[in-house]
Structure 1
Amino acid sequence: MAEPRNRYSTVSLILHWLLAALILAQVLLITAHEATEGPLARQFVEIHKASGMLILVLTLVRIGWRIANPALPLPDTMKRWEKLLAGATHILFYVLLIALPLTGWAAVSARGGELSWFGLFDWPLLPIGGGREGYRSLIDIHGVVVKGLYVLIALHVLGALKHQFIDRDNVLHRMIPLIPRRP
């Protein structure tokens, strides 16, 4: 009988941490955009938009990988509600990581702006209109979704810390290679 997996695959780890780094970069880019003016501010927002589309693609890849490679089972010591909360949080992450780029893409499309993907090609705009009003409405929705993502990130980090320091199980070990496995 094969020994059960106790770590996520290398692909899962790369996708998880790459998406985490990109999300952090998005926050830093939009903060830098708001703190500057002129061409530099525009450059920050252009990188933000291109990175958002990369997040969309990587999230879809991650969902496909997750379907083909199901998550590791949660510890038997977890209560049913904890397992339900963990599952719901992960599903909501996927929903929000698709909704954020889509609302940003829709906002740019409504305004009739450009969406260059790191200067390699122009991402096609969605066939929607609305001008500045449509843009503002969609950016407002984008902002609400960002706040939802912040709440999920906080829950995710708090849950990971709870597993590491209170439950003292090996849940965090499965996603962070540097944390040794507890016996």
Structure 2
Amino acid sequence: MAEPRNRYSTVSLVLHWGIAALVLGQIILITAAEAEGSNRGLWMMLHKSGGMAILILTLTRIGWRIANPAIALPSALPKWQKVFARTTHVLFYVVLLVLPLTGWLAGSAMQRGFEFYGLFDFPLLPVGGGRETARALMTIHTSLPKLLYVLVFLHVAGALKHQFIDRDNVLHRMIPLIPRRP
């Protein structure tokens, strides 16, 4: 019988940390875009491009996850914690899909395109409705980061709990530089 995997694949690690870096970048970019006297157009183009990159990478990660199921959680973990962990991950995927989609749909409703990192025009979606539709979509788009912040907090808190309280090598799976405990 094969030994169970004790860390995620390089592809999983690159997707996880790449998306995490882009999410942090999104926070910085939207803050810069909202700063008075900023070069709003540049920051918004980068923010929209980052959102599309997150969408593409999240879809890739979901596909990779389907083809390469997650490592089993420690058997000693209570069932409620396993359910909580899986629910948090599913909610991450939902938010990381809905956030860029609502932004893209809102821009499309207003016929406002953008250049993907200044390289090419990102296509608009065939959405009508104009300002009213865009406003409704932007309400969702601007509300979801609050849920994302809660999910990030829970995710990091859970990782730290596993590392320092449970001492069960869960954090080693996503950060291979952390030595595996015997």
CA distance in structure 2 between the aligned counterparts of 1:149 and 1:91, rounded to whole angstroms: 12
Deviation at 1:157, TM superposition (A): 0.7
| Matching residue of 2:152 | 153
CA distance in structure 2 between the aligned counterparts of 1:95 and 1:116, rounded to whole angstroms: 25
CA distance in structure 2 between the aligned counterparts of 1:35 and 1:150, rounded to whole angstroms: 21
| Matching residue of 1:4 | 4
CA distance in structure 1 between the aligned counterparts of 2:142 and 2:180, rounded to whole angstroms: 39
Structure 1: gaps spanning 5 or more residues: none
Deviation at 1:129, TM superposition (A): 2.2
1:23 aligns with 2:48: no
Q: What TM-score comes out, normalization by structure 2 length?
A: 0.96
Per-residue Cα deviation, 1:26-63 (whole angstroms, up to 9, x for no partner): 0000001111436x111001100011001101000000
CA distance in structure 2 between the aligned counterparts of 1:119 and 1:29, rounded to whole angstroms: 15
Q: Percent identity?
A: 64
Deviation at 1:2, TM superposition (A): 2.2
Q: Please state whether the residue corresponding to 1:113 is helix, strand or coil.
A: coil
Per-residue Cα deviation, 1:49-88 (whole angstroms, up to 9, x for no partner): 0110011010000001001111000001100000001111
Give 1:82's aligned amino acid. Answer: Q
| Matching residue of 1:98 | 97
- Over 3 Å counting, the alpha-carbon distance change for 1:112 and 1:37 in structure 2 is farther
Give 1:108's aligned amino acid. Answer: G
| Matching residue of 1:107 | 106
Q: Please state whether the residue corresponding to 1:181 is helix, strand or coil.
A: coil
Per-residue Cα deviation, 1:106-162 (whole angstroms, up to 9, x for no partner): 111111101221122212111112323322221111011111111111110111111
Q: What TM-score comes out, normalization by structure 1 length?
A: 0.95
Give 2:34's aligned amino acid. Answer: E
Aligned residue runs from structure 1 range 1-183, under 5 A: 1-37=1-37, 40-183=39-182
Deviation at 1:89, TM superposition (A): 0.7
Over aligned residue pairs, what C-alpha RMSD do you find?
A: 1.1
Greater shift after overlay, 63-72 or 141-150? 141-150
